[in-house]
Each structure stands twice: as C-alpha cells, then as structure tokens.
Structure 1
C-alpha cells in the first residue's frame, strides 16, 4: 500500500469522486470475516483477478497479494478497516495467470448489532483504469461547468438530465427547470420538433448529427430570433446500448447575421450586374418596364408592377400635375400568371388614375420610396375609400410592400411597386436601397427609350419630308418608288431617291445612302438631295456632279460618307449613262425577260476624296425596267451578298407587270420581316416596248441601236467585288 487515508477524512471527497465515474468502472466486491477470511467473491472479482469463487473463498485475503511485495502493507490496510476505520489505498495483487496487477481498493467495516466488527467489505478496481476514468471525469467536469458551449445530457426519452451553466444562460432557465422535461415542452418557440427528430436519429443509428440549426426565441431574449448550431452524440453503456444523448449548442446568431448580410450583398451586386446587362437594351418602354419587374422577382419581391405616366406612354412629354391625381399605365408586371396576387392587380396595358392623396402619388411627389414594412388592417384602411385591392392583397398574404418612384434627369416617369407575400421578413432598409438602385437604372433606360423614340420619330418625319413628295418624270418614263424606314429598334438612316426632268427630255434617276443614322444622317441626306436637284437642272455632267457632292460633304463639321448612284436616261433612244460612288449596282430587266446587273466601276463612297468617278453607257430596249435600290434591300444576316443579288434578279423576270406591283413584290419577298436598315427603292420603265416609239413631239428613232463599244455584256461575274465589298459584309462598312 502506498498510503493509508482514514475513511472519515476522505469519505466526502471519495464519494463525490466515485459518484461521478464509479458506475462506468468494473468494481470487484469482496467480503471477509473479522479474521480476514474471504467469504464472498463476485463475478467482477473473478474477471479482474482470474480466480473462481471456490479457489479463493476460505483463504485469507492477504494470500492474493503479490508474493514479492511487502505483504505487511496489505495486512495493515485490512487490519485498519477491521478496527472500524474505512480506508482507501493502492495494493499490488497477484493475478491467477501469474502477473502483478495494481488495484485501487476501498475497505470499510460491517459492524454487528453490538458495534463489533463482524466483517469487512472491500471494493477493488484496476488502478490504471480508475486513474484514467477519474482524470476523464475531471476533464468532463471542467468542460461541463466552464465551457461557453451549451451542453445538455438527455435520456432515451429525450428528457433533460443535466445542463451546464452556458445552456442555462442561453435558454434563460435554471437547470431545475430543465430536468425531467423535453425540449418541446420547455421551449415552444424554437423548432423543437426538428431538433428532437435529429436526436431520435442519433439514438437509432448511433451516427452523430452535426451543425443542425435551432432557431427561435427563448426566455433569455424573448424579443429577438436567435440561431444556434446544435450537435448530438449518442451515449452508450459498456455493452454498446444507447443510454442517452449529449447535446452541444453554440449561439451563432451574429455569424449568421453577418453571413446573411454578406449573401445579401452578393445578391444585390449580382442583381445589379444582371440589370446592367439585361435592362434597357431594347429602347422600348414596355420591354424595359417588364424587364424591371422580371429582374426583381423572386430575388427581391414576390410580385412587382411597373406603372409609367400615361402621357409618357402616349409619347407625350412626361410633365405631370399632382393636383387632381395622376394617370399611370401599367407596362410591367411579374409574375404574369399563376399567382393569386397577380390576379388581384390590374393587368398590363390598363390605365389607372390615382387621387393625389394615395401613397402612389405621395411617392411620386416626394420622389422618395414609400415603405409599408408590415401591412395590416390599419395600414390598408385609408385606401379603402379608393379601392378594395389593398384589402384583397392583405387577405391574399401580402405582408410588406414598397413603392419606388422612377426618376431620371430630374423627371418623374412612373413608379415601381414591390410586394412580399412569402413567409420571410418584411422589406428593410437594404431592400429599399436595392429597389431604388434598380428603379434608377430602369428610369434611365425608360428615359433613353423616350428620348430615342422622340428622336426616331423626328428623324422619320425629317426623312420623309426631304424625300420628293411629287415626282413628275418626263414623257416616256414611268416610275414607282418605295421608302421603308428601319424598324423601331433601329435608327433611321439617310436613304433617299429622286427623279428629275432634264433638258432635252432626258430623265435623271438618283439614289443615295448617307452612312450613319438618326437626325444627323437625315439632315445630310436633305443637303445632298437639294444639291443634286440644283446641279441636275444645270445639266451638270454626272462625274462632275459627284465631285460637287463630295465638296458638299467636305463642308460639314463632322466628316460623313455616302454612297450614290446617278443614271441619266433618254426615253427616245434607250441610252443610259450610269455613274456610281460605292453604291450597289442597278438591275435592268428587258421586255423579253432578260435580267442583268449593270456592271459599272463601283467607285468609292462620297466623302473619301481623291477618287475619279467613271461613267458607263448602255442602251436598253424600249420598255426595259431599271431598278435602283439601297443596300437595305439586299443585305441579310447570314446570307451571302451574291445570293441576295440572285434573289433580286430572279424577281425581275416579268418586267411587264405594273411597277407598283413590282416594288411591292420586291419588298415582300426580299424583306419579309422588320427591316434592320432603311430601304429606298426606285424603279423606272424607260420607253415603250414595241417596234417603234413615238415621243412627245412625234419623233421616231431606232430603239435598239445596240450598246456602244466596250459596254458591259450583262454578265454578273464577281458581282460582290463590283459592289465594292466582300460577300456577306455590309457595303456601308466594307467600303
């Protein structure tokens, strides 16, 4: 024995030490008589030392000590206990298999009725195991009592057995309030059902459950929701049978809030990035409004409407007066179908009139978001006299809404309304900020669409006003013409045409295309058209006329280019001179159905400078049709230019048709959908088909004197190069 400790001095501490861990340690129970003879030997003693009861019962307990050790220590320990004093100590016993075994023993006397010692009760355990368990118990006790992590021990019925101080603080309840009760009974305002299901899973499978989230409110903080990370581990007896669950809880509310805020920040950036890519590219009011609604659902709101000033929707100035209310037209709504809330709100295209006292008008007048964080009966009551929709929305589950004005360049354009109905929190300041940023981007795009639409319409009006309003060709020439502006999503260009009556009964056919779009291109087109008219009346030679047009472009503050084709035709002889500057070649359809492109030097566009323009002469049979056009007629995405020119000539094999029908056929067949570019088309029938032609003065001439020497044969080889560009590429850009 290493030491002797009187039981009456250690019983309190020993009992407490053993009480925490003795139940998990195999303990041998041995009883001796007053003289030290073994009278009882249980099965744990047999497992510990290897002796069966018949082998030791009747022997003196000192016989089991190590033969090489000082047996007097063991005898002294037993004798101390036999005198009526309980003791604890360590001895070295001899195992039946012939090896020493260090034991930790507790011995206490069993008095008779006359206070005489009749027996000694001895408890023995493996000393190494006892020290290990005692050390583990000390660690557990320190962890349990001092850890900032909440710890609980629950039985197999999931009732609390023990909780540490940290968990008491988290739950706001003392340990005594926990003991014997289940989580669902103790904290009804947390997701106790999910947590108990996780603990049952641990009891059933033995697999730990880690980081399961408990959310809700406890008496420690009844006004705020909190979040805990919970982990559960099964506790087993030595036989591996479950005897309970140990739960550990860590309050992660702040980390969760930071994570949510970071995620919200990333979501806002992603949404704004997507808005910059998707919104406003179309320059259409309706499409931009719908894009705003689609972008905000479901990341920001469950339902969104976008209402634009009715005056703006009618292409008028967006000025508004708030005295008698405002008319707004609904141009955006999401989702469009499949929602009860959507069915309550007015459909797309509806014009809504709001009195000056409604929240809509207040948001517009203040140019600030109007937020109703929590929609309830009191909040919808003021609107009841105007509409039943707010009360219907409340019944449909809308619990939060905000109205954000659409303001751009100091102009109020409309309002976007965001509704939230899912069981999530109300709109907060971050949501208002995000909605404001989306609305600001949408407002700029809507205003751009408004300005573009106004400029587009102005350019169309200018373009049309500068085209010849009344064309009166000379006798012997029949003309038909068409002008098709680009679709609304493309800007108006500078395409134009003209027919002029020249001295001597000749006709000048002119067609051009100013490179560029919008009002500037239309204005330059007007200057070129006026210059051509003035020079043609002076009978200026074609090449010189083109040089004068170049000088006109050189006078501009901003350099511009233009393609141009000028043809002078004599209806009596069929002789035509053609000069072009980077323009597509004209087509000729003879009365017998022969069709060819007039091959002339393509020249360079006007404005390039330093180029000589060549003139080509041909003679056409009477009744032949000349077709002049701008590149919008023959250009198409993904199609080779030679293929498109072949399509054009194939449509001219019936030149005897009325020219109006021919123009309509060319546009319908070559441009079946909205045009990407402006199209100008001019057709002219030169002379009258037949053996002779009677002019205005009754003169007759041979209509087929034949082409001059060196004139084109009418073949279409290398047409793309003749056009002045590579196949499949826009002539405006290639030149």
Structure 2
C-alpha cells in the first residue's frame, strides 16, 4: 500500500455484540443517510483480514466480483507498492477495538490505482466473541467534493441573509435558517413539522403552497412569487417577500421536497410603488394640461375634469360649481348660511352604481352651512375621509341618506377639493373610491388639489371670457343699425350672426345711408380682431362713416379718412371695408374696397357675377391707393355684400366656398329676407367660426 494520506484516526463507531450480518445491514442504512447519493462500498473481513462480504457497490468501485475477492486478504487489493506493515497495523488497530479512518490507494481490476477514503470498525459477534471488521470505502475525490459542498451549504444556510426553508413533499417544514426565523418571527422548532398555512395565516399562504405543489409536480422552479402580509416579526405592518421554490430530488429523480428562498423586498416595493405613483401623477397632470380647459365652456370644462379623474384618481367623480356662476352671474365671496351648487360634471356617466345614486347633471343642490360641502368651500382646503364608515358619515347623514347608500355600495374612501381661482371660490370636486386599492392618501389629496386648481383656472377663464363675450356682443349689437330705412327706389335686407366661441365676437358691421340726390350708400366692414376692443373700434369707424358720408365724399376719399381715423388709435388696428354708392334711378353703382371680399350681383335673369374690383389693402396698412369701379345694377338685380365669415371655414378651400356661394345665389328665392336666410342656413349649418355680416339690396322692377 502506498503511504496513507492521513494516519489512521479513531472513529466513534459503537461496539455492540450484534450479529455481523445485522450490523452490516444497519450500518449500510446509516451510511446511506449521511453519505447521501455517494456510492459506498461495504466490505466485511474476519479478524485476520480475510474478506467475508463484498457488496455490489464494492464490485462497481474496484471492478472485482464477490467470487474474486471473498477468501482473499484485503491487503491484496491495495496497490502493489503498498507497505504491508501499514496494512497490518491498520487492521490490528481495528481488531483492537478502535474505529479508524484514512485514505489508501487500492488497485482496480483493470490495473489502475483508485484513491479511497475508508471507515473501518470492529464488530463483535455476541455468540463466540470473535471480531469482524466492517469497512466502508468511497472514491476519495467524490467524498472530498461532497464534504466541501456540505460545508458550503451549512455555511450558506447559517449565514445567508436570504431566508431559506426546506420542506417535505407534504409541504411541512424540515429545516429553516436563522434569516427565515427572523423574517417570520418564529423559531425553527416552531416551524418543524408544520405547514406555512398553519404558521402564518395572515399571509397569502395558500397561494404560496399552490406554487410549491406545482414545483413538486412539474419539477420546474417558480421564481419571484410574491408573499404579502403580516408575520409575528412585524404584526402591525404589511410586508412583501420575493419567494422562489426549487424541487429536491433523490438519485432516482423522485421528488423528496422543496427548498424555498425568501427575500424581504418591502422597501424596494414601496419605493417602486411610490415611483410608479409619481409617474402616474405626472402623466395625469400632463393629460390634464391637454384635456381640461380645451374650450372656454363652463359645462365642458367641468365634465373634462370628471372624465379625467375617473378612473385616473377615483372610481367616481362629481364636479359642482356655484349656481350663481352657472347662471352667468358673478360668484359670491361669502358662503354664509349655506351654498347652492349646480352639478356640471359626473363620471362615469353610465355603468356605475355609485354615480347612479348621485344627483344627475344639471341639478342644483342646496347645502346648509354645517354640511361638508359648505365646510370644504369655506375652508378652501381639501376635505378627506380616508376610511368611510358609519361614524365618519354621521355628520352628513343628518342632512341626507345618500352617504349611507354610498357606504352600502362599497365606497370606502371619500375626498373633496374646492375649485378656487384668483381668490374666488367657484365650486367643488368630489372623489369616491370603491376599488380594493386602499384609501385616498396625502399624495392623492395633493394630486386632487393640482387637478382642481387647473380646472378652476379654466372655469374662471370661461367665466371671464363669457363676461367679455356678453359685453362685446352687447356693444356690437348696440352699434349696428337698429332700424334701416333705405331711400326710395331700393330694397334692403340684412343679417348679423355672432361667432359661437366666447372669444370670437368681433367687429363686423354694415349700414345703409341716405345720400343727397336720393342716392344710397351701402357699406360693410370687418375690424380684424375680436372682443370688446374690436367692437369698440367698429363703433368708432361706423360713426366716422356716417359723419363723412354726409359730406358726400368720393368713395376713395372716404376710405382715406377712415384710415386716418385708425392711425389715431393708441394701438394699431386693421379693418377691411367695402363702400358702394347706388343711384336707384339709373342703377349706377360706384364702389371701392379695402381688402374686403368682393361683392356679387344677381341679374334679373338670375345670372350671378362676382364683381372684379381691385382688392386694395385693409385700412390701417397705409400707403395704399384705392380704386373706384363703376357698374350698373339693372331693375330687379340684387347686390350682395358680406364679410369673410360667410365664405371662410376651417378646413375648406376659399375658392370652393366662393363657388358654393355663387351656386346658392343662382337659386330662386322668395324674397331678400329669404335669400339671407338661405345663405346662412346652407353656408353655416352649424356654429359660426367667425362673425358674419350680410347686406343685400335690390332695385325693384317697374310695375
């Protein structure tokens, strides 16, 4: 035998008076338990070293069958160069009652050396007090690998910050490491023999056990399955763990258990949730900047806020504005004695039991001074009931049974945010939550405040523009001629149609003046711009034309005077203008224009012509020469003057619109009034994008 790798070492094998065959069998079972899947040769010798037993693992390890070995001295199986004296001393130690361990080099049947680790112990036969030697042998490299793996596993198991548990096929704990003990707040002894669902009922244990059963059945690992809930380690707070499960198999590939590894990711999950919530808030605010307040319409803005917030922030939303504001009055500064609110926004409009029990759109709601709605408005601060229950709704329940209805429908959290802009209280938005996502939080309150602030500003802009619109429209209508009395020999009809958008009331106007010699001046103009200022400039030009016309100036001279009037303004303004002088007796027409759409005529035979008149530049540009053109309007002929709002439309070509105008003019019309109505009906079927002024005149045919 070659030099042993280590001196024979005493091993604590028990010495019992047990039959050799029984002891060998029992010892083999023990070896299987602590050596696991390692192939272990089992050999028995007599006291003098003669082999008396040779199992299959020994035959596989060294290549000798039992018939080749039994009866030979065991030392003959060692390497030919082995020191026989060492072999004798090894057996003498074993025979002397000492268990020994060591490393030797054996000789394989095929002629190559095999390094073995051996464990030998004497066995006493109770019948004749003779000793036999029981030997276990295994390939040395494999035993060192297993011993190292075992050491690594033991170190990892004991020191890893990852919770580790070993469970059997019935999902009962066999072993847990200190990290898992700390996570669960339970000792290892409490775990052993129990299932997760028995130990931790306040986590989603059944879901986790189902995942482990899948691992046992399919053999495929399950990774990053979330365990959520509370354990004795932290009974007051929910925590989140990332769990992974791997099946453990025996050498035959049969499942014998599951290894579970757990990592506490509560803080990472909280940070991720907060970051995700932050992204959602930013996305919602970004969407609000686009969707809310896209028009200067009170009802539409309120509904846009409701549609955005449900389901972005809440499951149901209502938006109520002061009833005085909804009526077009100025909002009051005080809320003494209560408040009246008009419901202008509600979402979702259909398919929600919660919104079905809430007041419908358009309803006016009266709240006393003690109601939460009034308190939220008076305090100008959000009103939050994070957890809605019978106690929380008691103050409001004195006024209405609706809170109790909402509670029965699953509303568990409630929040209100006032609509305040430019230090004016305009209304309130109310948010309801029914989904099992937790109550409204302080972050939700902040988000609701930002959304309502944006909406409130848009609502107040709508209020201001509505007021400006009404002012401009009133000014515009007051400056248009209320009663036109044309001179003898000419008939006229006219229409004025304001734009539908609140900021689009402009400076369109028309007039008919009686000139010396029973002539008539027909004029139409459009101040470029909108609102009160455009209407005021229009009034100034209208008054100037009336004064200048009495001087019987030439058309071009009158336009130069109007341009001078515009130059006197503190802020420059432009205006288009068309001035026509008609002599009803002769049909002679003298006209000039400054950047205005060309007039059209309808002959007595129904033929339509657009008069070729030099366009000129709008008044206020300066340095422009205006040209007067003469034409004749025959008896029965019609002259049509209009502003650009009649033929200009978003998304339409101006030439196509002019062609449509001439086509309509060629149709038969019952009267001049009917002609005006037909043009507006067909060319402006919906709301007008711009103001429209229309003036038509006819020289009657002689009877």
Q: Distance in 1 between matches of 2:179 and 2:654?
A: 81
Q: Distance in 2 between matches of 1:580 and 1:26?
A: 112
Query: Counterpart of 1:446 in 2: which secondary structure?
Result: helix
Q: Distance in 1 between matches of 2:142 and 2:503?
A: 89
- Whether the 8 Å CA contact 2:593–2:626 is kept in 1: the answer is yes
Q: Distance in 2 between matches of 1:9 and 1:478?
A: 133
Query: Counterpart of 1:361 in 2: which secondary structure?
Result: helix
Q: Alignment partner for residue 98 of structure 1, among 111, 114, 133? A: 111
Q: CA RMSD in A?
A: 1.8
- Partner of residue 701, structure 2: 689
Q: Distance in 1 between matches of 2:367 and 2:669?
A: 62
Query: Counterpart of 2:132 in 1: which secondary structure?
Result: strand
Report the count of equivalent residues: 687
Runs of at least 4 residues of structure 1 off by over 4 A? 8-11, 17-21, 114-117
Q: Distance in 1 between matches of 2:261 and 2:33?
A: 20
- Deviation, structure 1 residue 628: 0.2
1:469-618 matches, cutoff 5 A: 469-488=482-501, 490-618=503-631
Map Cα deviations across residues 503-559 of structure 1 (whole Å, 9 max, x no partner). Answer: 110000000001111111111101000000000111111111100110111111111
- Whether the 8 Å CA contact 1:514–1:562 is kept in 2: the answer is yes
1:25-40 matches, cutoff 5 A: 25-40=38-53
- Whether the 8 Å CA contact 1:622–1:689 is kept in 2: the answer is yes
- Deviation, structure 1 residue 235: 1.0
Q: Distance in 1 between matches of 2:66 and 2:11?
A: 31
Q: Distance in 2 between matches of 1:393 and 1:310?
A: 25
Q: Which range moved further: 487-496 or 147-156? A: 487-496
- Whether the 8 Å CA contact 1:49–1:95 is kept in 2: the answer is yes
1:177-192 matches, cutoff 5 A: 177-192=190-205
- Partner of residue 95, structure 2: 82
- Whether the 8 Å CA contact 1:473–1:500 is kept in 2: the answer is yes
- Deviation, structure 1 residue 611: 0.7
- Deviation, structure 1 residue 471: 0.6
TM-score computed with the length of structure 2 as normaliser: 0.95
Query: Counterpart of 1:689 in 2: which secondary structure?
Result: coil
- Partner of residue 86, structure 2: 73
Map Cα deviations across residues 399-425 of structure 1 (whole Å, 9 max, x no partner). Answer: 111111110000000111111111111
Q: Which range moved further: 394-403 or 21-30? A: 21-30
Gaps of 5+ in 1: 694-735
Q: Alignment partner for residue 351 of structure 2, among 321, 325, 338? A: 338
Q: Distance in 2 between matches of 1:130 and 1:348?
A: 82
- Partner of residue 427, structure 1: 440
Residue 383 (1) aligns with residue 401 (2): no
- Whether the 8 Å CA contact 1:302–1:418 is kept in 2: the answer is yes
Q: Distance in 1 between matches of 2:651 and 2:301?
A: 28
Query: Counterpart of 2:392 in 1: which secondary structure?
Result: helix
Residue 2 (1) aligns with residue 5 (2): yes
Residue 22 (1) aligns with residue 25 (2): no
Residue 328 (1) aligns with residue 312 (2): no
- Deviation, structure 1 residue 322: 2.4
- Partner of residue 230, structure 1: 243
Q: Distance in 2 between matches of 1:130 and 1:26?
A: 10
Query: Counterpart of 2:36 in 1: which secondary structure?
Result: helix
Map Cα deviations across residues 453-487 of structure 1 (whole Å, 9 max, x no partner). Answer: 11111111111111001111000011100000001
Query: Counterpart of 2:665 in 1: which secondary structure?
Result: coil
TM-score computed with the length of structure 1 as normaliser: 0.91
Structure 1 residues 329 and 115 mapped into 2: Cα distance closer, same or farther (>3 Å)? farther
- Whether the 8 Å CA contact 1:358–1:383 is kept in 2: the answer is yes
Query: Counterpart of 1:148 in 2: which secondary structure?
Result: coil
Q: Distance in 1 between matches of 2:58 and 2:393?
A: 81
- Partner of residue 275, structure 2: 262
Structure 1 residues 43 and 19 mapped into 2: Cα distance closer, same or farther (>3 Å)? closer
Q: Alignment partner for residue 674 of structure 2, among 637, 645, 661? A: 661
Q: Which range moved further: 226-235 or 377-386? A: 377-386
